[in-house]
Amino acid sequence: MSNQFDAENFLRHLTHQPGVYRMYDESGDVIYVGKAKDLRKRVSSYFREKVDRVKTQVLVKQIADMDVTVTNTEAEALILENTYIKKYRPRYNVLLRDDKSYPYIIMTDHTHPRLGFHRGARRQKGEYFGPFPNGAAVRESLRLMQKLFPIRQCEDAYYRARSRPCLQYQLKRCLAPCVNVCTDEEYDEQVQLARQFLNGKNQQVIDQLVTRMENASESLDFERAARYRDQIAMLRRAQERNSVTGAQEELDVIGFARGNGVTTVQMLFIRDNHLQGSRSYFPKVPADTSDEEVLQAFLLQFYLNQSSGRKTPAEIVLPDEIKHDPVLGEVLGEAVGRKVRLLHNVRGERKQYQQLAQKNAINALEGKLNQQSTMNRRTSALQQVLELGVPIQRMECFDISHTMGQQTVASCVVFDQNGPKKSDYRRYNITGITPGDDYAAMAKALAKRYDNAKDAGNIPDILFIDGGKGQLAQAENYFADWGKDAPMLIGVAKGESRKPGLETLIMAGSHETIPLSKDASALHLIQHIRDESHRFAITGHRQKRNKVKRTSSLEEIEGIGAKRRQKILKNLGGLQEVKNASIDQLANVPGISRALAEKIYYSFR
């Protein structure tokens, strides 16, 4: 294992999401790029005690640093990996000689065009779609296209020799233009839809199919309408959002995340229709600085630093929820000598890039907060504030979550000197209490956690209770007869405005408050523990609540009238498809907001 690279700490807080990882040597050069369905599992395989491959052993010895870019799907990671390999040309990756090595899908220039696999020089007339990462990706796409659009994929010699329809026609995967079963207009209609689909215009294809299904239904051609319905359903199932390639020539996208005294600005760089790179920045931010001020200062310093040789793009997509000064775009434009548009309320591909940047910003922030050095510093600061004579080994925090007293769940999160210890997290379903009685819920949760804890020997040094004196009193009553074995009890009450930094820390017994400034490291640690406890409780509560809602139907969901029901069913191809649809698929239906899509999604689960 490399002496310079702390692999254990890096892996401890690495996400399980799909994405791409980059390995750097001491000089800062990228030496290897890889993709993963689960980043933590894949990257950890390099640092096992016994690695058989000599190449891997040599590679690991040269790693000085690593970073990751999170993607939405494994397919996106595959495409981004190839983009990075082409850009950095790492010496430990297999490098292709040139673009001719990449495979494409070709739509031939015939009376009845054919879809097929192509690699090499583009001598044949037709349209080329790609490039794809490898041949398997092309063949998988062609299999999908054959199910979605009944266009021939047979060779010309086979096509000319036919005297009757082949098996593909019987399977409804070809219109059999070879023997004139369909008209040229019907075939061209499917060719145009396939062309739009390959160009990424999935929603336009679905809109056209919905229109044709309605026309066929009005003409009482129910068989044709049913075919369009089935085609819409298959398209919805096959539609996979791709946030690493698109039609944007030049674009910078900014993600922004902030919490517990750390600010992250995430940059995505789109060039030549591909995501060419990403980078996380952690600016030093004074206390009481607004998000707008931070973002404006970052933009000016990032793009007006001429010594870096950085090129400012024509468009910059900003975080959706942060307002910006319209004059800022003019200032940047004058400084770089070209028009610069600052956008935040975006749609389509730009929205996908915006969401991906935000996703990576949150991941980078969590990684920064979980770094061992940060945790050690904050733990030491808390130890000094509480005047403890021994190091803090274990901290726990409780929180209660419910909706109007229903589906009550208590969470217990655990932190040690390295950060969250998720293997020790626990949730407790609370029953047998008066709905909405948080005090009784806290008492039950403490009993479930600590009734047998003395024998197990995992009593925390500090127990934080998310709440005021009432919740803290429940803990005091429970531990009243524990004596010296009881943990230190601290209540974490929100301030009047419930803003971060205004929390009140209440000591058990005396109920004295602990004064801490907004930028105190000890307060940031407590906020981190409290927020993690709240997140864990909310997640468990939602899972429990959603089980109750599985029997709901589309007609019973609030906010869905007759017109919206009809539009949803038409776009997704039936009630069963609506039940199986993801939140993103529901949100793609015209007139359905993301909030409503989430409501529909969870009502069936």
Residues paired with residue 268 on neighbouring β-strands, in sequence order: 253, 278
The confidence score (pLDDT) of residue 9 equals: 80
The confidence score (pLDDT) of residue 96 equals: 41
154 and 270 housed in the same domain: no
422 and 293 housed in the same domain: no
411 and 498 housed in the same domain: yes
- Using pLDDT thresholds of 50, 70 and 90, give the confidence band for residue 310: low
DSSP 486: S
What is the C-alpha to C-alpha distance for residues 239 and 386, in angstroms, rounded to an integer? 55
pTM score over 0.85: no
CB 29 within 8 A of CB 82: no
In a domain, 244, yes or no: no
Please state, rounded to an integer, the average pLDDT across all residues of the chain. 82
Beta strand pairing call for 462-466 and 395-403: parallel
154 and 69 housed in the same domain: no
- Average pLDDT on 139-143 reads 80
- Using pLDDT thresholds of 50, 70 and 90, give the confidence band for residue 309: low
In a domain, 162, yes or no: yes
538 and 410 housed in the same domain: yes
The confidence score (pLDDT) of residue 330 equals: 81
The confidence score (pLDDT) of residue 266 equals: 93
- Using pLDDT thresholds of 50, 70 and 90, give the confidence band for residue 357: very high
Question: Any long-range contacts for 562-566 (C-beta under 8 Å, 24+ apart)?
Answer: 564/591, 564/592
65 and 113 housed in the same domain: no
The confidence score (pLDDT) of residue 238 equals: 53
Q: List C-alpha distances in Å: 468 to 28, 399, 448.
A: 50, 12, 21
Of the three residues 531, 547, 563, the one that is the final residue of a domain is: 547
Question: Is residue 395 predicted with pLDDT exceeding 90?
Answer: yes
- Using pLDDT thresholds of 50, 70 and 90, give the confidence band for residue 435: confident
In a domain, 16, yes or no: yes
- Burial (CB count <10 Å: 0-12, 13-18, 19+), residue 514: middle
The confidence score (pLDDT) of residue 552 equals: 43
CB 544 within 8 A of CB 400: no
What is the C-alpha to C-alpha distance for residues 271 and 315, in angstroms, rounded to an integer? 11
533 and 402 housed in the same domain: yes
In a domain, 340, yes or no: yes
Of the three residues 517, 547, 577, the one that is the final residue of a domain is: 547
Complete edge-to-edge strand list for the sheet that includes strand 19-24 = 30-36, 19-24, 65-70
Which residue has better confidence, 506 or 273?
Answer: 506
397 and 517 housed in the same domain: yes
Per-residue pLDDT of 558-583, as tens digits, reads 778 777 877 888 787 777 788 888 88
Q: Phi, psi at residue 48, to the nearest 5°?
A: -70, 160
In a domain, 220, yes or no: no
71 and 138 housed in the same domain: no
For Cα atoms 530, 527, 66, give the angle at the middle one, nearest 5 degrees. Answer: 105
How many domains is the chain built from? 4
CATH number of the structural domain spanning residue 48:
3.40.1440.10
85 and 154 housed in the same domain: no
For residue 169, give its domain range.
Answer: 101-199
- Which range among 194-203, 227-236, 411-420, 544-553 has the greatest average pLDDT? 411-420
CA nearest to 274, candidates 77, 80, 30: 80
Per-residue pLDDT of 463-514, as tens digits, reads 999 888 888 999 999 999 888 889 999 998 876 545 655 678 899 888 888 8
Q: Out of 41-45, 172-176, 535-539, 600-604, which region has the weakest mean confidence (pLDDT)?
A: 600-604
In a domain, 78, yes or no: yes
88 and 184 housed in the same domain: no
Of the three residues 158, 180, 199, the one that is the final residue of a domain is: 199
In a domain, 157, yes or no: yes
Question: Is residue 226 predicted with pLDDT exceeding 70?
Answer: yes
Q: Out of 140-144, 232-236, 244-248, 480-484, which region has the weakest mean confidence (pLDDT)?
A: 244-248
Residues paired with residue 420 on neighbouring β-strands, in sequence order: 415
Residues 6+ apart with CB under 8 A from 51: 57, 60
19 and 122 housed in the same domain: no
Tokens of 37: 């369905």
CATH number of the structural domain spanning residue 525:
3.30.420.340
- Using pLDDT thresholds of 50, 70 and 90, give the confidence band for residue 241: very low
Complete edge-to-edge strand list for the sheet that includes strand 274-281 = 274-281, 262-271, 250-259, 315-317, 341-343
CATH number of the structural domain spanning residue 328:
3.30.420.10
The confidence score (pLDDT) of residue 39 equals: 93
CB 238 within 8 A of CB 140: no
- Using pLDDT thresholds of 50, 70 and 90, give the confidence band for residue 555: low
- Using pLDDT thresholds of 50, 70 and 90, give the confidence band for residue 218: confident
With a pLDDT cut of 70, the percent of the chain lying above it is: 88
Which residue has better confidence, 529 or 3?
Answer: 529
CB 415 within 8 A of CB 421: yes
In a domain, 305, yes or no: yes
